Structure 1
Amino acid sequence: MISVLVVEDEAIAASAHAEYVRRIDGFRLAGVARTGADALRQLREERPGDIELVLLDMNLPDMHGLVVAGRIRASGIPADIIAVTAVRELAMVRNALSLGIVQYLIKPFTFATLRHKLEHYLQFRQSLPQGGAAQTTQEEVDRALAALRTASPPSTPKGLSPETLERVRTLLRAGDAAYSATEVSSELAISRVTARRYLEHLADDGVVARAPRHGTPGRPELEYRWV
């Protein structure tokens, strides 16, 4: 099990990313930090290697994520870093890579995207020699790096609009209520068939829970609730 520290200042995003980690085989949640200082404290208090991967938000309230990454490296803490940010500037990407950040996740992303990144990170770890081996081969290095370079799947399947998908996400995220396709159709002024396609996509992606709604006349209607 690879232990993961989630570093994210927004409460809802921190909770979501933590839950995502819990749901991915091969990973366990080591902790959540809401500031750069708290992240560094948790990393320093753990025994070396207890936190193996950091999901690091770049826009923290007390210091930039790149500063946190630099201090992790300067402290000799043996944790890999995946940058999590809404910043898309090329300079930011280059700076992140120069600090040895192994993956770069641009917000907003889905559970499937994070799962894809973590599964390939796991392949990267498993491709390297195990059992305290001191040396490796060209083939092993190439295989490990290839796992990290695998492209993410398209965030929006063919036929679905990213804008409409985000509207459906926003509606379901806004509260604890469960929505049927009919209710989403009414709220967003889209057809019921269209609403159900987007809801089914989110359910298949694992970000909403799908369940029959009982207590209504006739055949039970499905309802969808943000996880």
Structure 2
Amino acid sequence: MIRVLVVEDDPLLAAGHAEVVAGVPGFSVVAAVHSGREALAAVGAAGADAPVDLVLLDMTLPDVGGLQVLRALRAAAVPADVIAVTAARDPAVVRQSLSMGVVQYLLKPFTAAALADRLRAYARFRADVAAAAGERGIDQHAIDEALAQLRTSAAPGRGVAAPTLQAVVTALREAPAAVGLSAAEVAGATGLSRVSARRYLEHLSAAGRVRREPRYGGSGRPELAYLPTPTL
């Protein structure tokens, strides 16, 4: 699960953001707080055993600004990623936010669907990076593919080619339903790269057509298997 801290000074908006986060598969809400000091305290309280992975950060807070929160997080070497969810349109704020590692910048007002799309894009980015990691690290092509998840529209189906999607679906249907396939196995069956296979599998997962389960075995870490649902 991707653990999310919601930072929003308006309690109603904070509750709405938290509801959206909880409704996207693979995400959970650590807390919803309403000030910069509460945000920093919540990150510290989360600890190393269950750290905050992602912060939804309003840039205009009642005590300290979002930029100050960002600086404090970076100064403390907190590895959490940040998506700005804000009405701040000042180019200087946008530029400084991006320079400090904000991965998405979502301007208010926005719909729940728009926020959910950004979250799914972020999940695809994380999955692509994890899938591409090998003994020698990650190569340039895989980095470019992962970053493309953040830089393009996250509208459902964007960047998904119908023939390729059908090839992935066929591979899943031909596999034992109780076992499913990993991204590496789908790549082998379709000729896709492992990163691309993972992207298509995550697309199917977001649509509820497959479910994800850890597969244990061997001496390495468990891999993620994708199992068909009745809607596949």
SS of 1:129's partner is: helix
Determine the structure 1 residue equivalent to 2:71. 70
Say if 1:7 and 1:55, in contact at 8 Å, map to a contact too. yes
Give the equivalent residue in structure 2 for 1:45. Answer: 45
The equivalent of 2:149 in structure 1 is 147
* Contact map agreement 2:7 2:33 (CA 8 A) in 1: yes
For 2:13, the equivalent position in structure 1 comes to: 13
Q: What is the CA–CA distance in structure 2 between the aligned matches of 1:34 and 1:79, rounded to whole Å? A: 18
Gaps of 5+ in 2: 156-232
Instruction: Tell me by how many angstroms 1:69 deviates.
Output: 0.6
Asked if the contact 2:121/2:154 (under 8 Å) is kept, the reply is no
Aligned-pair CA distance for 1:129: 3.0
Q: 1:80 Cα shift? A: 0.2
Q: Distance in 2 between matches of 1:82 and 1:114?
A: 10
The residue type paired with residue 37 of structure 2 is A
* Alpha-carbon distance between aligned partners in 2 of 1:19 and 1:118, rounded to the nearest angstrom: 13
Identity among equivalent positions (%) equals: 46
Q: Sort the Cα spacing of 1:45 and 1:135 in 2 relative to 1 into closer, same or farther, 3 A.
A: same
- Are the equivalent residues in 2 in contact too, given 1:129–1:140 (CA < 8 A)? no
Q: CA deviation at 1:133?
A: 6.1
- Displacement of 1:151: 2.5
Aligned counterpart, 2:200: none
1:136 aligns with 2:138: yes
- Written as runs of structure 1 = structure 2, the 5 A alignment for 1:74-223 is 74-129=75-130, 135-151=137-153
CA distance in 2, matches of 1:109, 1:133: 41
Which whole-Å CA distance do the structure 2 matches of 1:74 and 1:117 have between them?
26
Structure 1 residues 152 and 137 mapped into 2: Cα distance closer, same or farther (>3 Å)? closer
Report the alpha carbon displacement of residue 31 of structure 1 after superposing the two structures with TM.
0.7
Instruction: Tell me how many residue pairs correspond in the alignment.
Output: 153
- 1:84 is displaced (CA, Å) by 1.1
**Mapped partners of 2:11, 2:46: distance in 1:** 23
Quote the residue 2:56 is aligned against: 55
Q: CA RMSD in A?
A: 1.7
1:104-147 CA-to-partner distances (Å, cap 9, x unmatched) read 01001101100110111001000113589671111111111000
- Counterpart CA distance in 2 for 1:120 and 1:133 is 26
Q: Which has the larger radius of gyration?
A: 1
What is the identity, as a one-letter code, of the residue corresponding to 1:56?
L
CA contact (8 A) 1:129 1:136 kept: no
Partner deviation per Cα, 1:29-54 (whole Å, 9 max, x = no partner): 11111110011011112223621000
1:65-110 Cα offsets, whole Å, 9 max, x none, are 0100110011011100001111112221111101110000100110
Amino acid at match of 1:144: A
Unaligned runs of 5+ in 1: 154-227
- What TM-score comes out, normalization by structure 2 length? 0.63
**Cα 1:134/1:35, change in 2 over 3 Å:** farther
**Contact (CA 8 Å) 1:81, 1:103: kept in 2 or not?**
yes
What SS does structure 2 have at the residue aligned with 1:128? helix
Cα distance, 1:5 vs. partner? 0.2
